[in-house]
């Protein structure tokens, strides 16, 4: 029982039982189920999202260790209001304890008695130290905040003796305890799910993903099911980190009507959402935006296609309806359905890869072999990037695939040009004086969804992050708060334009940071900065390459903490990850490219294998033997 705590407390009694194995059988009940089989639970069984876990009450005469064990196990259960967990507490502690914050520990909480004198039969109090390796905290906004590698967790549980329910005996109960829930990582992953909720980029009609964690099944505290929890989370507003750069179209104070606990899609995959009076006067355009926030949130939550969202007033009348097709105008990415895959060929020119149904030969014109994808053919892009005299080191293609930007082969100059025949190559004012031209100079550029172009100058003497509005304006230096002497090695902008993925080097290692792009007006001029950097891949101690691979997901290449070999992983922008995030390895990857559409292959550059691709459900295969700097639009 309690897979996360088995190693630390193997001799303590198990206090969790399982009812049924198919559907959700009990809700709204604050006592033990009266039917169903009681049996032991393996870790694999408890990973089943359709299995509900219930705690058992404390045994009469149970000792302090058993009480602590039972309480920690009961926190992993699905009991409404955590009724069983509260039975391990004194009446005052049970009343004061709030389960709205979650602390995640790698191997679960490990309780150890701290005072030998407490162990006597006549002792009236007992203290345990609960320790563990912290992974993250999920706060009351459901936001995930990863722990730092140096963080530790040490808190105390204090027990006292009190009279039993019948007024007799002297039962041990907990009267002082840490805030919120304590869960091991595997229990957390069993109970909670990462969900993207959506808000509008400030001043834009473009949605931004805001990842949070909600309970997979009915929440013991609110009694809301998964869909209702998620809708309420959208209504509650964005997380604190994202709030400065986004807006919600829901009027302040909007909530679900009355005691709404169980929203569900109907047989047409439509959702009706009853709102309180605060939303009743929203206009048509505002209401459509409100519905778009919910529709995109539900798309990320469910595996079925959401047909429409209907918002209703408190009196039951319809406020507005938004269909899935109508919602596309608010999409965060707005790229084509089949974005191009680009790279720099051996001659320093930009080419585009495409699939050829005939599959007659290798991508470089040679005979195909077992490790070469014969379905891929390449062709130079239109314009000076495809045939000009200027050789390029890296390339970035705008999200509408009408323009490109490239860094010269020596890493010192930035060029832009349309991807059309007869277009002229324009040398921008961006230059780098970095003496280490081989590994330094200008980073690969990146386009955001607003059409702005970003690039980092890695000159150790004068590191800068630069932005060219619309790709044509004079370059502006962007202030990055919290670098503390480190410098930006690579920049990858999100499609929404309000989040930046930065590879930051302190001279000894390179880490991934996610920054919030803030825009303000000073003296009549727009000023752009990147603020409140947070870890993007805290489990990686050295990151080589990164690319956006979803609206709140990135793919990273690097070495895990304590590891020696290169790893490829998916991570969320909040720093969370899962075992399913690990990707097949490929040798010596220096660059990687992905797109928000997970049906498109990953594309990478391997120092040994050239340009390689990883289609969904397949293995890595060489697409181009001699090429570098793979890129999707962005």
pLDDT: is 477 or 39 the higher one?
477
Please state the rounded mean pLDDT for residues 540-560: 94
The pair of three-digit structure tokens given for residue 230, joined into one six-digit string? 């998620």
- Per-residue pLDDT for 133 more than 70? yes
d(Cα 476, Cα 468) in Å, to the nearest integer? 6
Q: Is the pTM of this model over 0.85?
A: yes
Kindly list the strands in the beta sheet with 567-572, ordered across the sheet, starting from the edge strand earlier in the chain. 540-548, 553-560, 567-572
Does one domain contain both 315 and 414? Answer: no
Does one domain contain both 554 and 588? Answer: yes
The pair of three-digit structure tokens given for residue 632, joined into one six-digit string? 């999707």
Q: Are 383 and 389 in contact (CB under 8 A)?
A: no
Q: Residue 13 gets which letter from DSSP?
A: P
d(Cα 285, Cα 278) in Å, to the nearest integer? 16
pLDDT band at residue 123 under the 50/70/90 scheme = confident
Please give the residue range of the domain that contains residue 256: 249-330
Domain end among 280, 302, 330: 330
Burial class from Cβ neighbours inside 10 Å (0-12, 13-18, 19+) for residue 409 reads: middle
Does one domain contain both 400 and 547? Answer: yes
- Per-residue pLDDT for 367 more than 50? no
Residue 225 lies in a domain: no
Domain end among 330, 360, 384: 330
pLDDT tens digits, one per residue of 300-326 = 888 778 999 999 999 999 999 999 999
d(Cα 303, Cα 306) in Å, to the nearest integer? 9
Helices and strands in the chain: count of H runs, count of E runs: 8, 40
pLDDT: is 135 or 30 the higher one?
135
Does one domain contain both 590 and 481? Answer: yes
Q: Please name the residues in contact with 168: beta carbons below 8 A apart, sequence gap of 6 or more.
A: none
Neighbouring C-alpha atoms within 13 Å toward the C-beta of 424: 3
Domain end among 142, 173, 190: 190
Count Cβ atoms below 10 Å from residue 363 Cβ, excluding itself. 26
Q: DSSP string of 162-224?
A: E--TTS-S-EEEEEE--SSEEEEHHHHHHHEEEEEEEEEETTSS-EEEEEEEEESS--TTT--
pLDDT band at residue 370 under the 50/70/90 scheme = low
Q: Please name the residues in contact with 42: beta carbons below 8 A apart, sequence gap of 6 or more.
A: none
- Per-residue pLDDT for 432 more than 90? yes
Question: CA 104: distance to chain centroid?
Answer: 16
Does one domain contain both 321 and 386? Answer: no
- Per-residue pLDDT for 360 more than 70? no
Does one domain contain both 321 and 355? Answer: no
- Per-residue pLDDT for 27 more than 90? no
- Per-residue pLDDT for 73 more than 90? yes
Count Cβ atoms below 10 Å from residue 607 Cβ, excluding itself. 10
The pLDDT score that the predictor gives to residue 53 is 81
Does one domain contain both 268 and 306? Answer: yes
Does one domain contain both 419 and 286? Answer: no
pLDDT tens digits, one per residue of 563-617 = 888 999 999 999 998 766 889 989 899 999 999 888 899 999 999 999 999 998 8
Which of 382-401 are b and which e, b meaning 16 or more Cβ less than 10 Å from the residue's Cβ? bbbbbebebebbbbbbbbeb
Residue 319 lies in a domain: yes
pLDDT tens digits, one per residue of 247-277 = 999 999 999 999 899 999 999 999 999 999 9
Question: Strands 602-606, 610-614: parallel, antiparallel or unpaired by DSSP?
Answer: antiparallel
Report which of 570, 534, 539 is spatially closest to residue 241, judged by C-alpha positions: 534
| CA torsion angle 441 444 449 452 (round to 10) | 30
Residue 240 lies in a domain: no
Residue 78 lies in a domain: yes
- Per-residue pLDDT for 410 more than 50? yes
Residue 369, domain CATH: 2.120.10.30
pLDDT: is 32 or 85 the higher one?
85
What is the total count of domains within the chain?
3
Which of 161-193 are b and which e, b meaning 16 or more Cβ less than 10 Å from the residue's Cβ? eeeeeeeeeebbbbbbbbebbbbbbbbbbbbbb
Longest dimension (CA), the chain: 94
Q: Residue 81 gets which letter from DSSP?
A: G
Does one domain contain both 77 and 56? Answer: yes
d(Cα 473, Cα 216) in Å, to the nearest integer? 47
Please state the rounded mean pLDDT for residues 143-154: 92
Does one domain contain both 368 and 447? Answer: yes
The pLDDT score that the predictor gives to residue 336 is 60
The CA–CA distances, whole Å, from 555 to 323, 489, 594 equal: 31, 17, 7
- Per-residue pLDDT for 364 more than 80? no
Looking up tokens 């930009």 gives: 350
Report which of 435, 501, 426 is spatially closest to residue 465, judged by C-alpha positions: 501
Per the document, the length of the chain is 634
In the three-class reduction of DSSP (H, G, I as helix; E, B as strand; rest coil), residue 46 is classed as: helix
The pair of three-digit structure tokens given for residue 444, joined into one six-digit string? 């690969």
Q: Please name the residues in contact with 247: beta carbons below 8 A apart, sequence gap of 6 or more.
A: 199, 200, 201, 202, 203
Ramachandran region, residue 629 (left: φ > 0; alpha: ψ -120 to 50; beta: rest): left
- 304-310's contacts with Cβ under 8 Å and 24+ in sequence apart are 304/265, 304/269, 305/269, 306/265, 306/269, 306/270, 306/271, 307/268, 307/269, 307/270, 308/268, 308/269, 308/270, 308/271, 309/270, 309/271, 309/273, 310/270, 310/271, 310/272, 310/273
The pLDDT score that the predictor gives to residue 382 is 96
In the three-class reduction of DSSP (H, G, I as helix; E, B as strand; rest coil), residue 628 is classed as: strand
Residue 207 lies in a domain: no
Does one domain contain both 444 and 575? Answer: yes
The pair of three-digit structure tokens given for residue 557, joined into one six-digit string? 């290449």
Three-state SS annotation for 155-175: EEEEEEEECCCCCCCCEEEEE
Does one domain contain both 581 and 503? Answer: yes
């Amino acid at each position: 029982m309690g897979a996360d705590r088995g190693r630390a407390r193997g001799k303590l009694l198990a206090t969790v039982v399982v009812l049924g194995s198919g559907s959700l059988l009990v809700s709204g009940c604050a006592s033990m189920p009266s039917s169903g089989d009681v049996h032991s639970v393996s870790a694999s069984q408890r990973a089943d999202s359709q299995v509900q876990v219930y705690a058992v009450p404390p045994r009469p005469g149970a000792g302090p260790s058993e009480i602590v064990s039972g309480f920690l196990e009961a926190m992993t259960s699905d009991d409404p209001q955590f009724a069983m967990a509260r039975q391990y507490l004194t009446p005052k502690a049970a009343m004061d304890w709030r389960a709205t914050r979650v602390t995640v520990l790698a191997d679960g909480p490990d309780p150890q008695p701290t005072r030998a004198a407490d162990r006597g039969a006549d002792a009236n109090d007992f203290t345990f130290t609960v320790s563990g390796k912290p992974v993250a905290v999920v706060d009351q906004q459901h936001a995930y905040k990863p722990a730092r590698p140096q963080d530790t967790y040490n808190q105390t549980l204090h027990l006292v003796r009190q009279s039993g329910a019948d007024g007799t005996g002297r039962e041990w109960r907990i009267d002082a305890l840490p805030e919120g829930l304590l869960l091991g990582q595997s229990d957390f992953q069993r109970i909670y799910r990462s969900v993207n909720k959506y808000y509008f980029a400030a001043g834009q009609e473009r949605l931004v993903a805001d990842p949070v964690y909600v309970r997979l099944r009915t929440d013991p505290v609110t009694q809301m099911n998964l869909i209702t929890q998620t809708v309420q989370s959208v209504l509650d507003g964005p997380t604190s980190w994202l709030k400065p750069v986004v807006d919600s179209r829901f009027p302040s104070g909007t909530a679900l009507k009355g005691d709404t606990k169980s929203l569900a899609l109907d047989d047409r995959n439509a959702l009706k959402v009853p709102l309180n009076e605060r939303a009743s006067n929203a206009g048509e355009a505002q209401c459509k935006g409100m519905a778009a926030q919910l529709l995109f949130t539900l798309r990320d939550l469910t595996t079925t296609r959401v047909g429409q969202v209907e918002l209703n007033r408190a009196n039951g009348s319809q406020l507005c309806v938004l269909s899935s097709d109508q919602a596309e105008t608010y999409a965060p990415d707005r790229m084509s359905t089949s974005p191009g895959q680009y790279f720099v060929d051996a001659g320093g020119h930009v080419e585009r890869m495409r699939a050829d149904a005939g599959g007659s030969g290798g991508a470089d014109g040679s005979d195909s072999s077992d490790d070469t994808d014969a379905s891929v053919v390449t062709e130079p892009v239109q314009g000076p990037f495809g045939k000009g005299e200027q050789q390029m080191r890296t390339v970035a293609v705008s999200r509408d695939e009408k323009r490109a930007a490239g860094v010269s082969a020596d890493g010192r100059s930035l060029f832009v040009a349309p991807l059309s025949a007869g277009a002229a190559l324009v040398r921008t004012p961006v230059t780098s004086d970095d003496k280490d031209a081989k590994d330094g100079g200008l980073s690969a550029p990146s386009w955001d969804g607003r059409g702005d172009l970003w690039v980092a100058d890695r000159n150790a003497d004068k590191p800068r992050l630069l932005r060219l509005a619309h790709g044509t304006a004079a370059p502006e230096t962007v202030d990055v708060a919290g670098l503390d002497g480190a410098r930006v090695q690579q920049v990858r902008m999100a499609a929404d334009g309000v989040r930046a993925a930065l590879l930051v080097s302190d001279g000894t290692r390179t880490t991934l940071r996610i920054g919030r792009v803030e825009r303000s007006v000073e003296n009549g001029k727009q000023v752009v900065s990147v603020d409140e950097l947070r870890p993007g891949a805290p489990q990686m101690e050295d990151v080589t390459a990164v690319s956006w691979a979803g609206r709140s997901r990135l793919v990273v290449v690097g070495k895990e903490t304590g590891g020696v070999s290169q790893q490829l992983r998916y991570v969320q922008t909040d720093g969370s990850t899962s075992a399913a995030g690990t990707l097949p390895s490929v040798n010596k990857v220096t660059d990687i490219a992905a797109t928000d559409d997970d049906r498109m292959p990953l594309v990478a550059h391997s120092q040994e294998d050239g340009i390689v691709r990883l289609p969904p459900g397949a293995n890595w295969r060489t697409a181009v033997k001699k090429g570098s700097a793979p890129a999707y639009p962005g």
